[in-house]
Amino acid sequence: MNNINQNKKRTLIIGAGEASELLIPYFRTHKGNSLISIGLLDDREDIQDRLGVPILGKLRDIKEVVHEYFIEHIIFAIPSLQKNIKIDILEMCAQTGVQTEVMPDIAAIVSGEGSIQTMQKLDYADLLGREEAQLDYEALTPKFRGKRVLITGAGGSIGGELVRQLAKCEPAEILLLGHGENSIFNIHQEMRMKTQIPLVPLIADIQDRERLQAIFNNYKPDIVYHAAAHKHVPMMEDNIGEAIKNNIIGTQNLVDMSVQCGVERFVMISTDKTVDPTSVMGASKKIAEWVVQSKNNDRNAGIYSVVRFGNVLGSRGSAIPLFWKQIKMNQPVTITHPDMERYFMTIPEASQLVIEASVLAKGGEIFVLKMGEPQKIVDIVHKLAILAGKKRSTVQIKFIGIRDGEKIKEELFEASEFTTGKNHLNKFYCGEVSIPKAILNIKNWQKHFNQVTESDLRVQLFDLINAK
Distance CA 302, CA 293 (A): 11
Distance CA 323, CA 302 (A): 43
Sequence-separated (6 or more) residues with CB below 8 Å from residue 390: 94, 327
Letter string b/e over residues 333-365, b meaning 16 or more CB atoms within 10 A of that residue's CB: bebebeebbbbbbbbbbbbbbbbbbbbebebbb
Question: Secondary structure of 311-333 in the HEC alphabet?
Answer: EEECCCCCCHHHHHHHHHCCCCE
SS3 content of the chain, % helix, strand, coil (to 5): 40, 20, 40
Name the residue type at position 22. Answer: L
Distance CA 354, CA 268 (A): 9
Q: For residues 365 and 358, is the Cβ–Cβ distance under 8 A?
A: no
Helix (H, G, I), strand (E, B) or coil at 243: helix
Count of C-beta atoms within a 10 Å radius of residue 186: 13
Selected catalytic residue, list 86, 147, 273, 427 = 273
Q: For residues 215 and 256, is the Cβ–Cβ distance under 8 A?
A: no
Distance CA 284, CA 266 (A): 19
Q: For residues 356 and 139, is the Cβ–Cβ distance under 8 A?
A: no
Helix (H, G, I), strand (E, B) or coil at 252: helix
Rounded to 5 degrees, what are φ and ψ at 361? -60, 140
Q: Is 9 a catalytic residue?
A: no
Question: Secondary structure of 17-61 in the HEC alphabet?
Answer: CHHHHHHHHHHHHCCCCCEEEEEEECCCCCCCCECCECEEECHHH
Q: For residues 249 and 173, is the Cβ–Cβ distance under 8 A?
A: no
Distance CA 468, CA 466 (A): 5
**Pairing outcome for strands 397-399 and 333-335:** parallel
Distance CA 414, CA 407 (A): 15
Catalytic positions: 273
